[in-house]
Amino acid sequence: MKLRPIMFVGTCSDAGKSIVNTAFCRIFRQDGYRPAPFKAQNMSLNSYSTPEGGEIGRAQAVQAEACGIWPHTDMNPVLLKPSTDQTSQVILNGKPIGNMSAREYFRNGNKEELFREAVAAYRRLAEQYNPIVLEGAGSISELNLRDRDITNMRMAKAVGAATYLVADIDRGGVFASVYGSVMLLPEEERQLIKGILVNKFRGDVSLFEEGRQLIRQITGIPVVGVIPYFKGIHIEEEDSVALETKATTAREGKINVAVVRLGRMSNFTDFNALERDERFHLYYTTEVAEIEKADIVILPGTKSTMADLQALYENGVAEAVVRAYRRKKKVVGICGGYQMLGLRIEDPEQVEGSLTEMKGLGLLPLVSVMQDKKVVCQSRFRFKQYETECTGYQIHMGTTCSVDGSDRSRALNRLSGEMTDGYWLDEYCWGSYMHGILDNPVVLDDLAGGFPSAKGEPFDYRVFKDRQYDLLADHVRKAVDLDYMYSTLML
């Protein structure tokens, strides 16, 4: 049966739209449909490579995973990747088209063209999947951005989506936020709102029955679900705001893994597997004292490698990382962090900024050269000497070569044919461009090697993630009036 598209929009940022969207992607799949996610425009440093070599926001890749399908650039046609506090790289249909300041992006005349591209991407998806599960961005009632919005109610209207407003009751003011969000919409957009989902409710849900009735009285729109707050379900988060809730200090009894928190850190989801594997204790830090407590130190990816490396020299972290290796601690670099571990980074065309060259940490005999061309691909590889096939993805600008001609003999990962990736110095230090490398059980087991005090069984993060989607779907399914929601989707 063909269904209308469904869209989840919010009263504010972080209301839980992405999580709700993910839940319904899995619910529709469980109910025998073939859903696909869609978000016209996303802003995030957490991105993902699609099989065809395009780049999309990580949230849409997670939602595609919940649907049981491969991610595609049509699921997120416009992606903004902040480079500085004022500028972002603009990704259109998976490919970078340049850098823009916020003023240029929101004030110039390109939004009509981008909206047409977004609608075209939606149409292509709708030909293959049923239903399309759309996600809005931020608040639906930003009056100063209404005429330039390509993500929220304008998209809902263009595709005829049954739209549901997600409100975060945990932060307070739910009645005002719902009423204001609804009443600030033009009447034709207000008619698209079919229901309200009150999210992150703590306590006895039955106590909010009066609240449900009051919201319907003041808005004319039913509350179709009150979703309880949860902690025991783990879905990958895209927004770097999630880092504020992560551990920042070492602890006893496990393998301490310190991820250096860079100013423009990207793809922090690379380390989620370490957070869930009970053998490890993962924490994020810029404190030298906490890095010195770590058994493993990881330099992550970044959108601004040279600027972040310069900051590490200034705050003493660079020296602490080198000192950790000399003390026989394991040191790992991924993507931009891999480049930092080399002898130097060159940027002759000033791709990243005004600096043209910077000394690396000198642990690996490598030189990286920044280039305009971005490498975006998914990869299958074999890690170190192991024969188990692993998977990951690459998103980087620049090439890295050894200065001693040992590229292949010291390669960390063996890809198809003669292709290789990364550098394996010794049992204490390696680097790779491969995002998602730690999602592979063989890599986690290797990383845990040499720590006899570590307790815990081998961990398969992909199996873990799939189970979380089912748990999330069950949690949301119990909290909403699914029959009513399906009735609004019937054509």
- Banded model confidence at residue 395, pLDDT cuts 50, 70, 90: very high
d(CA 444, CA 132): 36
Tens digits of per-residue pLDDT, 419-439? 999 999 999 999 999 999 999
Phi, psi of 393 (to 5 degrees): -150, 155
d(CA 223, CA 480): 9
- Banded model confidence at residue 167, pLDDT cuts 50, 70, 90: very high
Is 339 strand, coil or helix?
helix
Among residues 101, 159, 151, which one has the least CA distance to residue 127? 159
Strand 95-101, strand 87-92: pairing: antiparallel
Is residue 109 predicted with pLDDT exceeding 60?
A: no
Catalytic site residues? 335, 435
The answer to whether residues 400 and 433 touch, using CB atoms and an 8 Å cutoff, is yes
- Banded model confidence at residue 108, pLDDT cuts 50, 70, 90: low
Is 51 strand, coil or helix?
coil
Q: b or e along 215-242 (b: 16 or more beta carbons within 10 Å of the residue's beta carbon)?
A: beeebebebbbbbeeeeebbbbbbbbee
The CA angle 140-144-150, to the nearest 5 degrees, is 50
Owner of token pair 């204790």:
281
Among residues 269, 242, 271, 243, which one has the least CA distance to residue 258? 271
What confidence score (pLDDT) does residue 407 get?
62
Is residue 116 predicted with pLDDT exceeding 80?
A: yes
Strand 36-38, strand 132-135: pairing: parallel
Residue of 99 and 386 predicted with greater confidence: 386
Owner of token pair 């680097």:
431
Among residues 112, 86, 111, which one has the least CA distance to residue 100? 86
83-92, 127-136, 366-375: segment of lowest average pLDDT: 83-92
**Rounded average pLDDT over 380-390:** 96
The answer to whether residues 38 and 124 touch, using CB atoms and an 8 Å cutoff, is no
Domain 254-454 CATH assignment equals 3.40.50.880: yes
**Rounded average pLDDT over 182-202:** 96
Domain ranges of the chain: 6-234+467-487, 254-454
d(CA 368, CA 174): 50
d(CA 210, CA 312): 54
Residue of 393 and 349 predicted with greater confidence: 393
Is residue 229 predicted with pLDDT exceeding 70?
A: yes
d(CA 380, CA 469): 24
Phi, psi of 272 (to 5 degrees): -60, -35
Q: What is the dihedral of CA 87, 91, 97, 98, to 10 degrees?
A: 10
Please state, in angstroms and as integers, the Cα–Cα distance from residue 331 to each residue in 35, 168, 324, 328, 339, following that order. 41, 40, 7, 9, 13
Helix, strand, coil shares, percent, the chain, to 5: 35, 30, 35
What confidence score (pLDDT) does residue 44 get?
86
Is 324 strand, coil or helix?
helix
Among residues 261, 341, 250, 257, which one has the least CA distance to residue 296? 257
**Rounded average pLDDT over 216-242:** 90
The answer to whether residues 290 and 258 touch, using CB atoms and an 8 Å cutoff, is yes
* CB proximity list for 119: less than 8 A, separation 6 or greater: 155, 158, 159
Domain 6-234+467-487 CATH assignment equals 3.40.50.300: yes
What confidence score (pLDDT) does residue 241 get?
65
Owner of token pair 């679900």:
225
What confidence score (pLDDT) does residue 478 get?
97
Asked if the domains 6-234+467-487 and 254-454 are classified in one and the same CATH topology, the answer is: yes
